[in-house]
């Protein structure tokens, strides 16, 4: 069963580019991705550009409306995700806990809907 791990963090929280911690942080992501690939559970996953690049789209009465910025003005924003194929929630939660940002932000785990 597939689970998506949505990685939420405030952009100014955790290791920042240009600091000594940033290199090991990026390495931790590379190691983690390698681990889930080797375990055969990795389905996909990407990091996202910062929220400054976000545009929110909605269509009302046939008219497309654009908004500069993310859809919700919360401190913690979606920064990336993994989709993992695990045998159950317990296994998915274990892998989610190993995502480097779980230490700084939060990871929301949800099963992916399956349609017949």
Catalog residues that contact another protein under the rule CB under 8 A: 1, 3, 86-90, 92-93, 110-111, 114, 116
Nearer to another protein, 47 or 97 (CB): 97
- CB of residue 94 to another protein, shortest distance in Å: 9
**Cα 72 to Cα 91: distance, rounded to the nearest angstrom:** 30
Tokens of 13: 């929280």
CA angle 102, 32, 19 (to 5 degrees): 65
Tokens of 93: 């939660």
- CB of residue 1 to another protein, shortest distance in Å: 5
- CB of residue 97 to another protein, shortest distance in Å: 12
Nearer to another protein, 73 or 90 (CB): 90
- CB of residue 44 to another protein, shortest distance in Å: 18
Nearer to another protein, 42 or 77 (CB): 42
Nearer to another protein, 3 or 82 (CB): 3
Tokens of 69: 């910025």
For 19-43, b where at least 16 C-beta lie within 10 A, e where not — what string? eeeeeebeebeeebeeebeeeebbe
């Amino acid at each position: 069963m597939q689970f998506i791990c949505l990685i939420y963090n405030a952009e100014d929280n955790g290791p920042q580019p240009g600091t000594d911690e940033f290199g090991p942080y990026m390495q931790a992501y590379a190691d983690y991705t390698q681990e889930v690939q080797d375990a055969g559970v990795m389905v996909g996953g990407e990091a996202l550009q910062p929220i400054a690049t976000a545009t929110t789209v909605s269509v009302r009465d046939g008219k497309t409306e654009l908004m500069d910025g993310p859809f919700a003005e919360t401190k913690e924003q979606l920064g990336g995700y993994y989709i993992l194929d695990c045998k159950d929630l317990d296994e998915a939660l274990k892998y989610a806990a190993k995502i480097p940002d779980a230490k700084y932000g939060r990871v929301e785990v949800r099963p992916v809907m399956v349609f017949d």
